[in-house]
Structures are given as C-alpha cells and as structure tokens.
C-alpha cells in the first residue's frame, strides 16, 4: 500500500475486511469508550460530529442504556 495514496472509502473498507469488525462498529466502540472516559456530552458531540439529526442517533441512546446498566450493576467503568 502506498503511504502517499489518498484515503478513500474503498481503502477504509478494505482495511476492515477480514477483521470481523465493520467501520460502523469500530466508530460506535470508539464513541462508547470516549463516553466512559469523559462523560461530557458536548465533547462527544464536537469530537464525533454527533447531532440529533445524525442517522446513527439511536446508537447514542443504546450507549446510554449500556452505561446505565453498568452503573446499576456496579461493574467498573473503563
């Protein structure tokens, strides 16, 4: 792979092939990890470009549910 080549959607897709992880799943995991670390919604909005109109907005709700369950169960948060 040429290090000077432009990064395209196809290049990113190929880099995830065979890993068992989609780009969307990796992004969601990164957002969740950052949410555990900062607990600052404005930071998350700015860092990941999240908005109410974002097509993945339901995943933000899912992350809130997971964080809530961890807090209730007493499991350590990252």
* pLDDT attached to residue 51: 73
Residue 32 lies in a domain: yes
Residues 58-67 have a mean pLDDT of: 62
DSSP, residue by residue, the chain: --TTSPP-HHHHHHHHTTTT--HHHHHHHHHHHHHHHH--HHHHHHHHT--TT-TTHHHHHHHHHHHHHHHHHTPPP-
Q: What is the pLDDT of residues 3-20, one digit of tens each?
A: 777 778 888 778 888 888
Indicate the number of domains in the chain: 1
Residue 61 lies in a domain: yes
Residue 62 lies in a domain: yes
Residue 7 lies in a domain: no
Residues 33-43 have a mean pLDDT of: 86
Q: Which domain holds residue 51?
A: 22-73
Residue 31 lies in a domain: yes
């Amino acid at each position: 792979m040429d290090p000077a080549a432009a990064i395209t959607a196809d290049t990113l897709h190929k880099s995830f092939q065979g890993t068992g992880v989609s780009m969307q799943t990796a992004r969601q995991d990164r957002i969740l990890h950052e949410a555990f670390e900062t607990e600052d919604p404005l930071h998350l909005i700015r860092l990941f470009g999240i908005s109410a109109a974002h097509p993945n907005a339901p995943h933000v709700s899912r992350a809130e549910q997971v964080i809530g369950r961890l807090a209730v169960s007493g499991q350590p948060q990252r």
